[in-house]
Amino acid sequence: MTTELQNLAVTQYGLALHTTTPELGLAINNFAGDSRSQVWNLGRDLSSLVHQYLIEFIQPQTWSDIAFLAVAKGPGGFTGTRIGVVLARTLGQQLEIPVFAVSTLAAVAWSEVVQSQKTDAIAIQMPAQRGQVFGAIYQPSPDGLGLTALLADTVFTPEAWQETLAKSQTTYQLIEAKSALAATVTSILELAYLDWQQGKRPLWSEALPYYGQHPVEA
């Protein structure tokens, strides 16, 4: 059975935020030819500047034009991830629109799928605290409508991750997510839109961060 996909009205937009690193990534798209995205390296100023940058970025669109929000939910830096998810939840509640919380690792995988057009599974690894790694394996959907998590985002020791990969029954491409992750904000938005097209409308309260590890107090 084929799902009939829904499309945004031309005057409606999706808006995505990526704050899991010291960079801020923003993307807006009506998926009918009008899109833009930008990344700023704000460092420690991310928390104090994110609102200002967001307000300036959405212009000439207004908040009433936003049909749904998407946010990188982690893994990533604890503070940055929390800032983005809290902001998305607050906006979603105020605007009464869906909020899609999308894995940082899934966004990296989707970027690779879009660029390479490959259909093999993609294993993503990313450095975590205390010498551990975040790992996940995503399979592109055969219909092009997103990703299926063969292995959801998990924290591993390097040895356990290598063992997991060795035991995998799936042909995969291994990618390491290290830098410039905020640039995948466009993938965050695209994955959210694919879910939106399929009729998913998650409440703002369902958008939860994925930290994976407890933060270490300095």
pLDDT in tens, 133-176: 999 999 999 888 899 999 999 999 999 999 999 999 889 999 99
**Angle, vertex CA 96, rays to CA 95 and CA 100, nearest 5:** 95
In a domain, 89, yes or no: yes
pLDDT tens-place string over residues 58-80: 999 999 999 999 999 999 999 99
CATH value at residue 111: 3.30.420.40
Domain residue limits at 64: 13-103+180-206
DSSP state of 3: P
pLDDT value for 215: 53
**For the chain, how many structural domains are there in total?**
2
**Are the C-beta atoms of 194 and 14 separated by less than 8 Å?**
no
**Are the C-beta atoms of 211 and 75 separated by less than 8 Å?**
yes
Is there a single domain that holds both residue 97 and residue 17? Answer: yes
Helices (H), 66-128: 78-95, 104-116
**Are the C-beta atoms of 112 and 125 separated by less than 8 Å?**
no
pLDDT of 27 > 60? The answer is yes
pLDDT of 113 > 90? The answer is yes
